[in-house]
Copies of this chain bind each other. A is one copy, B any other.
Amino acid sequence: MTYCVGLRLDKGIVFMSDTRTNAGVDNISTVKKMFTWAVPGERMITLLMAGNLATTQAVVSLLDERSKVSEDRDPSILRQPTMFQVAKLVGDTLKEVIATAAPSGPQSDAPFTATIMLGGQIGGGNPTLYLIYPEGNFVEATEDTPFFQIGEMKYGRPILVRAFDPSASFEQAVRLLLVSYDSTIKANLGVDLPLDLQIYDTDSLKIGKEMRIERDDPYYVSVSRGWGVALKAALESLPPFKL
């Protein structure tokens, strides 16, 4: 399993992904699920991947290979004029990879399926966040739905639904994400540290802060410990039930 989140803030976009990959509980590994292509001053494109690892790795490899050929026989994400066109290209690549692996063609519940989150900004366009389905189509984050989650999203969703605020600072957004991840990691063996974090500042057209949060990261540990105490205090602050 996997847990990736992208938050579209007024100030920019915050991406977070876990690194646990598993084929059964007895076969686990650490793998990066966040990939970035950037041309400073022109474009910044980040992908978060959930699903079959062979599929997601093949998608990244194809996108990367095609971005390096000089002629444009193969479409490159570095030459697409808009984020919409990048989303279309990533969706087509995903559909192509799934179709190659599954002779019966892509289906939502196919064993080689994957879901991709795409965020970034190109030139004078707006920063955008897309959720790309295994069928190759996609939806965009809007003011009503300003964040996406992919993978094991249920445990960490209530805190996002309740506390996400598009006007939040990057610092507040990271703290919120760590609480959402901590709730998920405590409940599901398929999601685990280390976590990859990337922050994109609107109109900067370059990779912002990038860091890996390890299991013994002092800030993560303080959030994880503090959250249990804070939650109990929050419960106690509610009016008492009377039998």
Which A residues fall within an 8 A CB radius of B? 154-159, 161-163, 170-172, 174-176, 178-179, 183-184, 186-187, 199, 209, 219, 222-223, 226-228, 230-235, 237-243
A175 to chain B, nearest CB (A): 5
Contact status B243-A170, CB under 8 Å: yes
Chain B residue nearest in CB terms to A242: B171
CB pairs A–B below 8 angstroms (23 shown): A154-B155, A156-B158, A158-B159, A158-B187, A162-B183, A162-B186, A162-B227, A162-B228, A163-B232, A163-B235, A170-B243, A171-B243, A172-B241, A175-B240, A179-B238, A209-B243, A222-B239, A223-B239, A226-B239, A230-B234, A230-B237, A231-B234, A233-B237
Neighbour of A163 across the interface among B158, B174, B231, B239, CB < 8 A: B231
Give complex CA distance A161, B227 in Å.
Answer: 12
Cβ–Cβ < 8 Å partners of A243 in chain B: 170-171, 174, 199, 209
Cβ–Cβ < 8 Å partners of A171 in chain B: 240-243
- Which of A158, A183, A219, A222 counts the most B-chain CB atoms under 10 A from its CB? A158
